[in-house]
Amino acid sequence: TMLSFITTDICISKELLQRALSEDIKGTYNMISVDGDTSTNDTLYGLANGASGVSASDEESLKALSAALTSVLGDLAYMLVKDGEGASKVARIHVAGAASDADAERVARTVGHSQLVKTALYGRDANWGRIVAAVGRSGADFNPDDVVVTLCGVELFRKGQPTDLDFDALLEEPLKQRDLPIDIVLGSGSGSYTLLASDLGHEYVNVNADYRS
């Protein structure tokens, strides 16, 4: 369950604050996933008391408010993934070259929700096959020979086959880090999407197996 509260002392109407929040969550809160599940109680509140006397009513002030909201929401979104139940890694899955943004999102979420990918990240395993398999079943439109997969800056897959690199040696240290970038290029267009997702380890099972309502 996620309960988030954003507070400000700016003077702003309910409608304008709602508009700003609705726009700024698109590239922050709506681009994260811990386990692919949701709760009926997941909520983000925006509260403004107007105590500062500073008004946000024109486009310039609204633009400044939006920039501040994006910064705060971006930090909180990252923290939500980092602090996910039992999480030890944050995978930043960036998909580019898709036929559309929607296709890019399909790929990113399929990879980010894959239990096999998530457990591989937890186990520090440079398992390109699990990533490519998730890309393949995403439903996105692409030519498999055009797919390029890169993990922590090391190219794992290109032209329909793994690259001729010593993955284990090259990624031994990078996979120990908290943040793990996964870059996927489809070669089908200009669509792109980025998703932050956590790994899946023993502690996640312990927390949720012992959970009682």
Q: Which two tokens stand for residue 210?
A: 């012992």
3-state secondary structure of 178: coil
d(CA 3, CA 18): 17
Task: Identify the active-site residue in 1, 40, 43, 70.
Answer: 1
Tell me whether residue 194 is one of the annotated catalytic residues: no
The residues that bridge with 91 in the sheet, in sequence order, are 180, 197
What is the Cβ-side half-sphere exposure of residue 152, based on CA atoms within 13 angstroms?
22
Sign of CA dihedral 100, 40, 33, 14: positive
Catalytic residues: 1
